[in-house]
Structure 1
Amino acid sequence: MAPQPNTPVEPDDNPDTYVGLDADTAEHQARARGWHTVRALPPGAIITMEYMGGRLNFEVTGGTVKRCWKG
């Protein structure tokens, strides 16, 4: 039997609360709330679609978070 992946625990947090924040402030807040991985992406960035527990993604335009999602 294959081993189960070690998935980090996801904080009970609403991604919508990050929209409109400065990217640096949003990242600091996300890490303080317990997100294991935080990544900022430009609009239209090509990314893989695998879901990774404990990761929070920001779409950033002009230094401001425009969209935020888990995984």
Structure 2
Amino acid sequence: MTHTDSVQWQLEVDKKDIAYIVSIFDAYENFAIVRTLDQSKGLIQLMISPDYLEETRKLLDNLKAEIPLRVL
């Protein structure tokens, strides 16, 4: 997946949860790539495969039940 054929979402999370989110998306290999934009502010970017957009949305909804996160 390259940058140009992905959907980008920015998220605001607690900085202590960044590693957890990265590990979740590593487990779901093809859903998205996580990039840290500003660790001190808890800003990350998901580069989402268009084929997994709905699955990524559902995964984020489930994560919201565990940790505070906000899609910007």
The question of a shared fold, defined as TM-score above 0.5 by the shorter chain, is answered with no
Greater RCO, 1 or 2 (C-alpha within 8 Å, sep 6+): 2
Q: Greater share of strand residues, 1 or 2?
A: 2
Q: Greater share of helix residues, 1 or 2?
A: 2
TM-score, normalised via structure 1 length: 0.30
Please say which structure displays the higher CA radius of gyration.
Answer: 1
